[in-house]
Structure 1
Amino acid sequence: MPSVRTTRNRTSATSSSNAVRTSASHRQKSGRVVSGQKTLKSTAIRVAQEEEARQHADRLQSMSRRQRRELQQLQDIPDLNFGDDDFEDDVLHGRAAAQISHEGDAFASEAQADAQLYEEIRQDHRKRYPDTRKRRNRTQFQVDGFAPQLERMADTYLEWSLEISMQDGLASTYSLPEGTRVQGTRKVVVVDIFAASREDLHFTVGDAFESCSCVRQGWIPSSPTTPTAVITIRALEIFRVARLRCPRLGVQAFVRALCDIHGVAPRAWLSTQFSVAFDIYLAVRAIVDRRVQVALGRQTPNWRLKNACPACLYRLDGEPTLKIPIMVTCDGNNSLSRTDLCEKSEVDDSGAWIGGASKARYDDRVAAGDYYISREEVNKWAKDSGGDVMKSFAAEGLEDEHDGACRERWQNMKESVTSRAYGMYDETGIFLCLCRHGFVMVVEDMVKSGELSKYALSVVAHLLKVLGKLAVGYDIGCLLDKLVKAHPELSALAEEKGFKALVGAFHGHGHNRLCGVDYLMTYVEGVGLEALEGCESFFSKSNALASTTRHASRFHRQQAITTYLKHTDTFDTYSGLVSLLSSKYRRALEVKSTYQTLREAMRDLGVRSRDEFERWREKERAHLRTLSKEPAQETLEMEYYQKLVNLREAEENASAILSAPPPPVPAEANADYAEGVKTTRRLEAQRRHALELHGRALKAVHDLEIRLAVPRRWTPEDAEWRAAATLVSHRRYQRALDNLQGLIIARMFELGKCNMSGTGYKLRKHIAKALQARSKAVKTAIERYNEAARAMQPPKPTLEWEEVVEYAFLADFDLLREGREDIRGELWAQPAGRAAMDQHYKLLRADEEIQRLDVEIRRLVTHMRDEERFLSREEGRLREEGKATLAHQVRLLRDERGRFTERHTSQLAKLASTPGFTGNITPGVSISRERHELVVRDGDADMPPPPAPPPEFETPPNGNDDDGDDDSEDEDSALAEVFLNIVRISQDSGTGSAENNG
């Protein structure tokens, strides 16, 4: 029975009160007894409620925020309905008291009183409003919640970083310092590398936010308010460094690895919490980096760009002037594209993708750093803003005769190709600019397009404004040069600052030969042996980022790219800078060692002076210009000849049709009349067509006779007719040869790619099938070429399939080309002459390369010395000013670069002992006084005098024998020690007195 079940589950206080009530009802029914029973009952209930309240408070203290929210939902007061089972359930669980009589029924008066009490509580209960927030905006809500806390979190992070540096670093375990005033404590879940546990979060006096208390204990919260789960900075730092070394590592993979280490199943929500904490950790580090830059006086705009590469930009007093001070290379890459999160896309009538409405969550964060050129700045150079002037070349007379050939070979020169992009992507890739040593200058996002010209123009404009005179290597440098000259604003800036567009060494051979003579690196004075092809090798490493950024948000993609670029500059490019300079120097020395070979080749060719090679190049350029476009007079004559041939054919056709006999008359009178009418109409149509074709051909002949001023129409017996026929057959021969040449070049490139290491199996099979199809096309082209060659007077030599497939180099086939004049007797057109001329230009570029490397090596040596001295001095100044936390960060920055100093000095000492080395590895004096003068920021003190140059030291003697063998390890160590002593002496002298700070 319900009453029995209820009685068994009552509390002790309720049981005693009911027992009193039951015995009293048996004795008497008077109001006085009932009143006493009620008093006893209320006293017992009050005691029980107080005890229950204390227990409930203890339970709430030990619960998480989510558990308290669930309990609150369970405790919502339901609608009173004594006929339902909800009231019985409340009674069974002790949430309501059952007022029953000895007969098992509730007292009517008490039931009404309880109902009235419950109704009053319901009315006074806090009203629950519906949650109108949208999940799409939760990211921005979270960002807004953390925004006012980041600066204070950075303050705490600086203190925490200094504290652990005095212990065991990241391996340190937090312990509450003695004397710390704790305002409160709460349990949170702490996720570390090897375990996850519930630990006490101490709220100390002075912490403005709970997040600051978390950072003080070495944790990063995953929620801006009342976090229940935190991630240790140790775990976040391991993920940050591991991801920079292996960009394919994503948050989800790392979190799953943590779950495997902890021995638990993967937690779906832990990836989101870890991602939030990682973003906050990077934001705090960015604030700390900005504060360090401000403390060092390096917060000026474009400071990083002006100091990106010490070898390119750290100029010294008294150094030789380079013809091209700075060389950079730029290129686009579509691997780092990002899928646009939007509704279902559709395809319009033209075949283009039309994206639906965006489903991306709003996030106004911007990636830290100044690597990126903003989209707004890039769009200033767009076609609609006057930046894309490709179509105006022909109108302004800027299009050269070789532009068409180059445009056919390079897809990014075709506006119809670069303006299209897959609709599923928002950012279709990046446009990167590097210096010649591989340091990142700037980067841009290519947005919903291919490699438009606005990206290159914006890079050139930005670098010219910040850095001044420079040369830019680009795979379509010939077009870039004309774009800059055609733009009114940029052309004036380029002329003022000094600008030169180049074609990279690798891409240059894919251009038209006439274009290569002007823009190829080999022939440009001042570039040295630099190939300006660093973007390709950079992309081969950065492509690993694609797997983790393809479906990321816009902010997370830029954040991943920016952090990767910064890490690459610091730990890859800078660490290998001396190795790169040494390899370039040794290569230049190898080229210079071939000078005697050139002298022997000149003697065999009968060339007396190397100036002759310059004249050969001018002859080649002049000859190529004659081949690039047919003369206008010859073109008209060939067209007139062709029209005369067409006129003679039209006359013969019309004469044959007009002189044809009429159709025979049917012999029988009842012949098919309809068939006769049909035949007659067909003949009349043929006569009319023949006369119309003859009239058109005659009109075209009349027009050309007026343009050529021909006094008498040519006939096959005239000399002009025969000369024009020869030109037409020669053009047909040249075009057949051009077609065959293009197919051979494509076959060579495909063979090279097929045999290249790193080509996958599927791609290799695809290329093999393409080669089979290409082979058939080559055979057909050979047949057409042979046919055109036999038609020549005199006949030209024919080609065989076995002969053509043996060509391994482009130059082999290029020499088969014949122009209007026979150049086979020219020395510059012969293989031996070509090799000698190429060697001459390589020797010129090698001398320029050595001169540039001598300057760059000393710049690097001086930069290492000055940077170490400057950071040491600033660290001491900050400590004296009581800014120990910032001083510690400066120390970390000093150690970041200083860890490579020993390796650099050892390699430089070894390079200095190489025969032929003409540089100087002693530090010089930089033009910029920033690193070697005391920075006065308040303006109330006089600047110290200019630094005196350090004493000159002789270059260590060469230790190599004539046969070029390397030095022993002992000699290398000794040379490295000598160089370190030189640097140490200069540092000691600089720190000893203010006048020697240089």
Structure 2
Amino acid sequence: MKWRYGDPSAHDPEVLPTEEEITVIDIYSTATKLSFKRFPSHSIAEDLALNGYLATAPLHPELAISFKTLELFRSIRLFKASFSTEAFAKLLCHMYTIPYRRFYRTALADAFDIYLTLLRDVKTQVMGALGRDAPGWRAKNACPACNYKIVGEEPPTFNRMIVMDGNNSLKRVATSGGRQQADLRVFEDHDYFLPRDFVDQYANEVKSRQVPRKPELVEDPHAMPEAESEDEAAPEAEGDPTDGAEQLGACASNWKAAAADEKKRMWSIYDESGIFASACRHSLILWIADMVRSGELAKYGIATTAKVLTEIGGKNMHGYDIGCEFLATVNNSSIGEAFRDSGSCFCVNAFHGYSHSYTCQVKFHPLRIVGMGLEDLETMERIFSASNQLASITRYASPYRCRVLIAMFFEHWDSEKYSNIGLMLYNNYRQALQIIEEKTPMLHEAMSALQITEADLEKYRAEEREYFSSLRDEDPEDLRDVLYVEALRELEELRDTSARYYDRTARAADAAAKAGSGPALTFLTPTSGPTTYDADLSATRKLETRRRYLRDRVDQLTADVNEIEVRFGIEKRWEPMDEKYLKAVKYIATRTYQRALGRLQRLVIQRLFELHKMNIAQTGYKARTYIAKNLQRRCKAIRTAVKAYNAAASALDPPRETIDWSTASHYNFIEQFPFLQDTRNDLREKSWAMPAGREVMRLSERVARAHEEIKNVHRELRRLQTWIRDEEQLFTAVLADLKDKNPELHGAVLEFWRRRKTANARNAAYIHATHTLPGFSGIREPGTHDGPSLLPSHLQGAATSAAPDMLTEMAGISVGDSELPDLVEEEDEMDEQMTGLLEFMHTLAL
């Protein structure tokens, strides 16, 4: 701090220094030697630091690296997280025109660790001077749009919208072969990470369980059963987020299957198998937990929720891709009572929600929840898309360096997302205004055409929720009947085949007896061309094998049918014309139709997510190529599934309408699945199940969420505006207080303020842009904070009476009406693409 912000040349004139020389690295000057003054009262590391260099050893260094070089390396890593130490060391060797040696990489890595430690110490002092060093301050107050409440504001439906999810990209390989970890340092200088002992408090809240298997009625009765895999035979002791529910739902089954595909039980070569992170809806990180030698277990989500309850409190909405099932897990855990008392709830993310069952979507999809606005809660997907860049440099790092790099990345992420809060609110407001302007006339016209009112729409929603909540799984008695009738049908079919075979043999025997020609013979079908004894012998043996198989299979099926009749108390064997038999045959046709429809739905949804994955940033070439090939196969599979569906639909009584490939390949086809599944025709006469009724309900919900988003942006925009004004007063008072008391700390605070001022200027510009939008109906002036002052207690009397206008003087940027469009439209192209994606996800009809 003295070198950077103070006077490094100041020293006691009575003390005579000595001259020393050391080998140095400085990418700016490419100097190889540094002559510097040594003072008896200083260590060599201190004297080098006063000259702008960091020693690579504390007592007898042979090399020193300039602070400017280390800062350049840090800055590159902030904006290119995958940039490795080895790459920068090779760059330095290139600039110095010397051969690369691993020694330089090691020296650079060690010096960089020390440099980051110094920066963290400086930031700790800066935060202390600003009064922001209280435990948990960052998570509570880093996002002013979430936290900085204003006196007299309209209370929100949810105090905060919080998202959480796990990601297995940031895996770290453990040491192997019994070797000890060389780097034993523990990184505890940041409050991003939840302590492992805190997370492990909830390790035994949920026990693992396997997915219960229903009776499988395989299409091929002769297929050999598959052997259980090793993972299936040995479930984890700890449960995943879905294991806390009393009954396993369809969403949980699908999530477990997906988790198995993603290697939910991590290989033992990894010490950390990823991270479980949480953030606010404005993308600022709350907490991170290491997933230690495990997949996405329940304890990580429970620990994060417990932290939210104790540190943030209030009624919050938690978005999680399996939130529908995890809600039951939380309610059954040790924090369940506190969670219920807070009024908080869980929901699913908008995009992931379309892969959930329709019953789940009706209750847990953001489009259906009052107060959610236009929030899609897919924040963690965007965060992980960026943080995946770290994977290449953390995979083989030590635990200390792995955490250091993750913390550095997310600290920079938060600073960027803070500067984009105004942009996010501006885009959300524009999107909400556009929806209201375009969809409201369409909604009124449709309601008028259908002669329905808002009260009717509410009635439809209630009926829809009641209908889908009353749906149940297959009745075990129906499954028994299916098993019995399928066995009877197969037995009858084999008997017919066997009878035809034996009838042919019997006729041949009778003919032989009448002709007195000896034993009966069955002749093979005549063939043209030459024949061989071996070929004829093989064909004869195949016929004999076929005869033995038919006889044995008939005996086996007869025994199976007898066993079923004894077990279920069936006194008289069902005949094809019996009422129960016909009912079971009809149910089998329906069941075949449902399974064909389920497979088609699964393939269409997989195609949807793979197309989404193709557009995710940082998806590598190999991954994109692999996904593209999978899409080609998936499209063929969908065509096959369409054929199977049409065959099953035609077999129903009455037959269902068939579909073609163009219909199944369209995204909006997803909305049809819940209604195609209705084979009892219970929905045919429901107004809310008609295509027109569903479209009106969707439009109504979309418009309602847009009006909610308008209110949310009004509230959050004014909070941000008030925060910017109050924060300028804070820095003005703190800088004035430190100017004479502590010049070095004054310089550090001033540098922090300059960067913060630029971010605030950007936010202020978007606040003004939102205020000038046609249709803006909020309050344009900042308010009064409903809470303690930002100023430390000893400076509260020193606050300036009036702060400069942030829109015109922040960071020296003149933001006039003529210049504002340029600032706002810089990112319009990218914003429109993202808005289009969000609009597409929301227009996927439920």
Q: CA deviation at 1:293?
A: 2.8
CA distance in 2 between partners of 1:632 and 1:687 (Å): 32
CA contact 1:367–1:558 (8 Å) conserved in 2 = no
Distance 1:744 1:904, change over 3 A: closer
CA contact 2:183–2:400 (8 Å) conserved in 1 = no
CA distance in 2 between partners of 1:397 and 1:327 (Å): 23
CA distance in 2 between partners of 1:295 and 1:948 (Å): 18
Q: Which residue of structure 1 aligns with residue 564 of structure 2?
A: 700
CA contact 1:754–1:764 (8 Å) conserved in 2 = yes
Q: Which residue of structure 2 aligns with residue 426 of structure 1?
A: 271
Match of 2:198 among 377, 380, 389: 377
Q: Give 1:210-609 correspondences, 5 Å limit.
A: 210-342=44-176, 356-382=177-203, 385-388=204-207, 398-399=246-247, 401-403=249-251, 405-407=253-255, 411-412=258-259, 419-468=264-313, 469-487=315-333, 489-570=334-415, 572-593=416-437, 594-607=439-452, 609=453
Match of 2:742 among 858, 866, 883: 883
Distance 1:830 1:337, change over 3 A: same
CA contact 2:200–2:299 (8 Å) conserved in 1 = yes
Residue identity in the other structure for 2:568? L
1:202 counterpart SS class: strand
Q: Which residue of structure 2 aligns with residue 70 of structure 1?
A: none
CA distance in 1 between partners of 2:244 and 2:759 (Å): 53
Q: CA deviation at 1:587?
A: 1.0
2:173 counterpart SS class: coil
1:525 counterpart SS class: coil
Q: Which residue of structure 1 aligns with residue 235 of structure 2?
A: none
Q: Give 1:544-693 correspondences, 5 Å limit.
A: 544-570=389-415, 572-593=416-437, 594-607=439-452, 609-625=453-469, 628-631=472-475, 634-635=478-479, 638=482, 641-642=485-486, 693=557
Residue identity in the other structure for 1:160? W
CA contact 2:171–2:270 (8 Å) conserved in 1 = yes
Residue identity in the other structure for 2:69? A
CA contact 1:194–1:258 (8 Å) conserved in 2 = no
- Scaled by the length of structure 1, what TM-score is found? 0.68
Q: Which residue of structure 2 aligns with residue 159 of structure 1?
A: 2
1:554-598 deviation line (CA, Å, top 9, x unaligned): 21121111112112212x111111111111111111122222220
Residue identity in the other structure for 2:250? H
Distance 1:802 1:389, change over 3 A: closer
Name which of structure 1's ranges 286-295 and 624-633 shifts more when overlaid on structure 2: 624-633
Q: Give 1:125-140 correspondences, 5 Å limit.
A: none
1:914 counterpart SS class: coil
Q: Which residue of structure 2 aligns with residue 793 of structure 1?
A: 653
Q: Which residue of structure 2 aligns with residue 928 of structure 1?
A: 787
Distance 1:472 1:830, change over 3 A: same
Residue identity in the other structure for 2:166? G
CA contact 1:406–1:512 (8 Å) conserved in 2 = no
Distance 1:210 1:921, change over 3 A: farther
Q: Which residue of structure 2 aligns with residue 960 of structure 1?
A: none
Distance 1:639 1:395, change over 3 A: farther
CA contact 1:371–1:562 (8 Å) conserved in 2 = yes
Distance 1:705 1:397, change over 3 A: farther
CA contact 1:924–1:950 (8 Å) conserved in 2 = no
1:224 counterpart SS class: coil
Match of 1:204 among 39, 46, 50: 39
1:188 counterpart SS class: strand
Match of 2:771 among 903, 907, 912: 912
Residue identity in the other structure for 2:722? T
Residue identity in the other structure for 2:78? L
CA distance in 1 between partners of 2:597 and 2:34 (Å): 81
Q: CA deviation at 1:971?
A: 9.1
Name which of structure 1's ranges 650-659 and 178-187 shifts more when overlaid on structure 2: 650-659
CA distance in 1 between partners of 2:427 and 2:167 (Å): 27
CA distance in 2 between partners of 1:761 and 1:395 (Å): 36
CA contact 1:418–1:449 (8 Å) conserved in 2 = no
CA distance in 1 between partners of 2:151 and 2:801 (Å): 9
Residue identity in the other structure for 1:319? E
CA contact 1:654–1:694 (8 Å) conserved in 2 = no
CA contact 1:729–1:792 (8 Å) conserved in 2 = yes
Q: CA deviation at 1:451?
A: 2.3
CA contact 1:339–1:426 (8 Å) conserved in 2 = yes
Q: Report whether the alignment pairs 1:858 with 2:718.
A: yes
Distance 1:692 1:262, change over 3 A: closer
Residue identity in the other structure for 2:427? S
1:520-554 deviation line (CA, Å, top 9, x unaligned): 11111221110111122222222222233232222
- Scaled by the length of structure 2, what TM-score is found? 0.79
CA distance in 2 between partners of 1:362 and 1:756 (Å): 35
Q: Which residue of structure 1 aligns with residue 590 of structure 2?
A: 730
Q: CA deviation at 1:337?
A: 2.2
Q: CA deviation at 1:314?
A: 1.5
CA distance in 1 between partners of 2:662 and 2:440 (Å): 37
Instruction: Point out where structure 2 has 5 or more consecutive residues left out of the alignment.
Output: 211-238, 520-543, 808-814, 825-846
Residue identity in the other structure for 1:478? C
Return the index of the structure with the highest Cα Rg.
1
Residue identity in the other structure for 2:688? W
1:899 counterpart SS class: helix
Instruction: Point out where structure 1 has 5 or more consecutive residues left out of the alignment.
Output: 1-157, 165-173, 343-355, 671-679, 937-942, 956-966, 977-998
Name which of structure 1's ranges 832-841 and 195-204 shifts more when overlaid on structure 2: 195-204
Relative contact order, higher structure (CA 8 A, sep 6+):
2
Q: CA deviation at 1:196?
A: 1.9
Q: CA deviation at 1:817?
A: 4.0
CA distance in 1 between partners of 2:396 and 2:517 (Å): 86
Residue identity in the other structure for 2:562? L
1:484-518 deviation line (CA, Å, top 9, x unaligned): 1221x121221233321111111111111111111
Q: Give 1:697-846 correspondences, 5 Å limit.
A: 697-705=561-569, 715-750=575-610, 762-763=622-623, 765-800=625-660, 804=664, 809-811=669-671, 816-846=676-706
State percent identity of aligned pairs. Answer: 31
1:969 counterpart SS class: coil
Backbone CA RMSD of aligned residues: 4.2
CA contact 1:502–1:520 (8 Å) conserved in 2 = yes
Q: Which residue of structure 1 aligns with residue 817 of structure 2?
A: 969
Distance 1:639 1:705, change over 3 A: farther
CA contact 1:857–1:921 (8 Å) conserved in 2 = no
Q: CA deviation at 1:241?
A: 1.7
Distance 1:916 1:633, change over 3 A: farther
CA contact 2:205–2:299 (8 Å) conserved in 1 = no
CA distance in 2 between partners of 1:232 and 1:878 (Å): 28
2:340 counterpart SS class: helix
Q: Report whether the alignment pairs 1:871 with 2:731.
A: yes
Q: CA deviation at 1:895?
A: 2.4
CA contact 1:872–1:894 (8 Å) conserved in 2 = no
Q: Aligned pair count? A: 756
1:357 counterpart SS class: coil
CA contact 1:259–1:266 (8 Å) conserved in 2 = yes
CA contact 1:308–1:441 (8 Å) conserved in 2 = no
1:574 counterpart SS class: helix
Q: Which residue of structure 2 aligns with residue 108 of structure 1?
A: none
